[in-house]
Structure 1
Amino acid sequence: MKKFQPRPGFVVQAYRFALDPGAVQEKALRSHCGAARAAYNWAVSWVSASWWQRKAEASYGVPDDQLTEWRTWSLPALRKAFNQAKHTDCRFADWWEENSKEAYSTGLANAAAAFDNYAKSKQDKRKGKRVGMPRRKSKHKARLACRFTTGTIRVEPDRRHVTLPRLGMIRTHESTRKLQRRIANGTARVLSATVRFERGRWFCSFQVEVSKNARTAARPGVVVGVDLGVTCLAVMADSAGEVQYVPNPAHYDAALRHLKRLSRRVSRRQGPDRRTGGKPSRRWAIANAERNHVHHRVANLRQDGLHKLTTAITAEYATVVVEDLNVAGMLRNRRLARKIADAGFAEIRRHITYKTGWAGGETIVANRWYPSSKTCSNCRVVKAKLPLHVRVFACDACGLVIDRDENAARNLAALAAAATTGTGVAGDQDAQASNPRGADRKTRATTRSRKATGGRAGGANLLHQRQEETRDRHQDTEAHTSVTPSRTFPVETPRMLTFD
């Protein structure tokens, strides 16, 4: 499926509203989402059947030209095959007419996208973790979602109802005036609608093509570097010398004690048993709903805080520099995984990226290997090693003593100027930074054993030789950085920002 390209001067934006469906409407919503899951499972089974059939025929010595033909997974092919099978297949023949055709189209489109991701991942054309072959979705674990692209999709003028195909008019929990005003003025056009059950309630998200007025940041000529952390969610240092600390609200940690107590209560109740088909007790359902309510509140507070933070950043600065963090690798640290996941580093970068685009700004992503924490923001000397527990940066060359996160934020702010001018200093992410240890990102191809170095004496001589080489490199580095032009920042008292 090709990504929709908005018209010039328009952007694609989502408007999401909570729904208050009745009992009959909620049953219809669940039916549509179940139909999407059933169509997805049918498509996965239909395509995979030809693969396994060809594999079985090949094991019996059937020639290649006589094997079963491949079944394509393109969306038009899946739709054509499904329309032919839904009348005769016993899984759909009795009830497929109860739901909108968009429900089945949603499942088929998701299946086509899953097979595309699998093929691209197998051919090393897809970034990220390797994607396996699509599997069928479980009735108990699949997320309830359905997308509508055609039919009657509108926001009612009373600003309290939305209309969807086959579902009719559904009341919204909140007013839809923000979207209805734009539609009435002709500055917005609804492209599609997606209903989803998450966090204990139903939501309807409208994909809208919106006309955006040209906006400029409050300080367009100032560059800000954003360094993310656990203790302080974000440390921002701009090119004007101002430093701002945003404390981490740690919503999950604040609710952890309450969640532990509720989880113990749930464990004492009789829950569901999928192995024997046992149903949960009523007291278990009540306790589980109370625990889920706390989880949903934590997620809502986190999302609200991240939106307020990123909106404030993009409204003040036109150029924002962020780091390309390996969040998946950071989550492998069992001591910090919970706090890193609670902070939402990836969401902050995603919000900043599209919000600066709306405001006509620019987001610069620093290289993952750029030593922002190890580089001195005053003289540009790069430290050989800086452990994570060392929270204060002390430069051995110029004697600068500064907070570790503030030093990294200053280096990120200087990176924007270096990226445009190409000065070749440590602030340039493409420049070769000095490395006193001689270490690099790649593992060395050869190593020396004790036998090759002549035992202990040989090893001692080798160690002494490496110490001499390291000392020479360090002296060369100091001589080089002493004549390298650098940017300095006036020292000001940092101010704390809070986003309630």
Structure 2
Amino acid sequence: MKARYQYRFYPTDQQQQSLAQLFGCVRVVFNDALALCKQSDKLPSNNDLQKLVITQAKKTAERAWLSTVSNIPLQQSVADLGVAYKNFFDSLKGKSKSKKVGTPKFKNKTNQQSARFRIGGFSIKGDEIYLAKIGNIKPIWSRELPTPPTSVTVIKDCANRYFLSFVVEVEPIRVDAKNQSIGIDLGIKVFAFMSNGEKAKSRESGRAEYSVRHISPNYSKLDKRLRRKQKQLARQRSKDSNRRDKIRIQVAKLHNKIKDIRKDFLHKLSTKIVSENQTIVLENLNVSGMVKNRKLSRAISLQGWREFRTLCEAKCQKYSREFVVISRWEPTSQVCSECGYKWGKLDLKVRTVQCINCGTEHDRDENAAKNINKVGMGHCHDYKCTSRQSKTTTVASVIEA
């Protein structure tokens, strides 16, 4: 299986100029190829596009500067456009199981920039990476590469940070699991409630509860600063002013800080869950529908539920685990996890409930996590039968029975 290893590096002034030129050439080639695709009735092949936007364009006076950079990232840019169109057509035909993908869009100068080198355009020389027509770059090696990489992508994010992203082949890890299965119910105040009683609760005012095993980060302070900077950015009238560009970078840095904190927490939590359990069961949440609630949309977006699911699914393949996703229509919060009695829908403000059939008092999230685990493992109660048996009967029917 393939894995991605990412390292940060700090280029020199000369390398920054060379990388800026490389990113500009890659962006222009991609936009020129996309413009040709939109103008033509039939989608051209990658070879035809490369001849038009790279080979023939270099011979013109307007695009002669394309010869100053390596040809490999330019070819990869055209190949990426072909992959984007393929994903779009697969989404239209229903072949893709993920959410719908739109048509490719033109690349912008202020967004994240990237250029990919395949084998032949880069080489590893000790602690340094040689990139064609860029030079030797020394990344910060936080960990060793398990195998030689098949490609490397140079990335510059919106906050002007530089990264090298390697694609390598890794072998699955064989680790014995402590538990057979675990069900996880995702939320806002309690990010994840597990069926074994553990929970990842949000940090409040810097105080942590000793009964809580995992503490999820609190983004409230950073979110307030981000809102204030976004208002300043929206008030800037001139789009090309230095002040607007300065505030834009500040907004990007805050976004990256929130992203890095969330990513660190999700990686640690997903690794611990996957390494300790053989089967991980999650609920297929309708996040796109939930964020339409204006009161909860920002809080839901900050949690990263989809990213957590993606990490769990990827690490299940790495650790040879089973990943199960149950339907969103399963009444996990409407059923008693002990006897299977179905009490119906509950308001969101109701956090604890007592079953009128068996008398067990449940925490709402813990009860849902246990039901998610049961449904995922195929050992769910017969809800209809249990509900029918527990209904109140008349005296006559009892005597007849």
| TM-score, scaled to structure 2 | 0.85
Q: 1:364 aligns with which of 324, 328, 331?
A: 324
Q: Confirm or deny: 8 A CA contact 1:321 1:363 kept in the other structure.
A: yes
1:321 counterpart letter in structure 2: V
Shift of 1:415: 2.5
Please say if 1:236 is aligned against 2:194.
yes
Q: 2:310 aligns with which of 346, 350, 356?
A: 350
Write the mapping of 1:81-230 to structure 2, written as runs, cut at 5 A.
81-92=52-63, 94-127=64-97, 129-140=99-110, 142-157=111-126, 159=127, 161-172=128-139, 174-175=140-141, 177-179=143-145, 182=146, 188-198=147-157, 199-217=159-177, 219=178, 221-230=179-188
Rounded Cα–Cα distance in structure 2 between residues aligned with 1:133 and 1:357: 30
Shift of 1:333: 1.2
Shift of 1:19: 0.9
Tell me how large the CA RMSD over aligned residues is.
2.6
Given the superposition, is the C-alpha separation of residues 405 and 177 from structure 1 closer, same or farther in structure 2, using an over 3 Å criterion? closer
Rounded Cα–Cα distance in structure 2 between residues aligned with 1:333 and 1:393: 25
Please say if 1:31 is aligned against 2:1.
no
Rounded Cα–Cα distance in structure 2 between residues aligned with 1:135 and 1:212: 36
Write the mapping of 1:303-452 to structure 2, written as runs, cut at 5 A.
303-418=263-378, 425-426=381-382, 434=384
Shift of 1:305: 0.7
Given the superposition, is the C-alpha separation of residues 215 and 152 from structure 1 closer, same or farther in structure 2, using an over 3 Å criterion? farther
Tell me the SS of whatever aligns to 2:343: coil
> 1:273 maps to what in 2?
238
1:146 counterpart letter in structure 2: A
2:242 counterpart letter in structure 1: P
1:223 counterpart letter in structure 2: S
Rounded Cα–Cα distance in structure 1 between residues aligned with 2:160 and 2:219: 18
> 2:222 maps to what in 1?
255
Shift of 1:18: 0.3
Gap regions ≥5 residues in structure 2: 203-215, 392-401
Given the superposition, is the C-alpha separation of residues 27 and 279 from structure 1 closer, same or farther in structure 2, using an over 3 Å criterion? same
Write the mapping of 1:30-69 to structure 2, written as runs, cut at 5 A.
30-51=20-41
Q: Confirm or deny: 8 A CA contact 2:154 2:162 kept in the other structure.
A: yes
> 1:451 maps to what in 2?
none
Shift of 1:254: 2.9
Rounded Cα–Cα distance in structure 2 between residues aligned with 1:26 and 1:197: 10
* C-alpha distance after superposition, 1:191-213 (max 9, x if no partner): 11111112430111100112444
> 1:439 maps to what in 2?
none
2:134 counterpart letter in structure 1: L
Rounded Cα–Cα distance in structure 2 between residues aligned with 1:14 and 1:228: 27
Larger-Rg structure:
1
Gap regions ≥5 residues in structure 1: 1-10, 52-69, 183-187, 427-432, 435-472, 480-500
Shift of 1:129: 5.0
Tell me the SS of whatever aligns to 1:189: coil
What is the percent sequence identity of the aligned residues? 28
Rounded Cα–Cα distance in structure 1 between residues aligned with 2:152 and 2:389: 58
Given the superposition, is the C-alpha separation of residues 475 and 86 from structure 1 closer, same or farther in structure 2, using an over 3 Å criterion? closer
Rounded Cα–Cα distance in structure 2 between residues aligned with 1:266 and 1:125: 40
| TM-score, scaled to structure 1 | 0.69
> 1:299 maps to what in 2?
259
> 1:20 maps to what in 2?
10
Please say if 1:476 is aligned against 2:388.
yes
* C-alpha distance after superposition, 1:433-491 (max 9, x if no partner): 54xxxxxxxxxxxxxxxxxxxxxxxxxxxxxxxxxxxxxx9963637xxxxxxxxxxxx
Given the superposition, is the C-alpha separation of residues 477 and 335 from structure 1 closer, same or farther in structure 2, using an over 3 Å criterion? farther
> 1:486 maps to what in 2?
none
Given the superposition, is the C-alpha separation of residues 30 and 316 from structure 1 closer, same or farther in structure 2, using an over 3 Å criterion? same
Q: Confirm or deny: 8 A CA contact 2:284 2:328 kept in the other structure.
A: yes
Rounded Cα–Cα distance in structure 2 between residues aligned with 1:71 and 1:224: 47
Instruction: Report the number of matched residues.
Output: 377
Q: Confirm or deny: 8 A CA contact 2:226 2:251 kept in the other structure.
A: yes
Given the superposition, is the C-alpha separation of residues 294 and 190 from structure 1 closer, same or farther in structure 2, using an over 3 Å criterion? same
Given the superposition, is the C-alpha separation of residues 245 and 119 from structure 1 closer, same or farther in structure 2, using an over 3 Å criterion? closer
Given the superposition, is the C-alpha separation of residues 12 and 86 from structure 1 closer, same or farther in structure 2, using an over 3 Å criterion? same
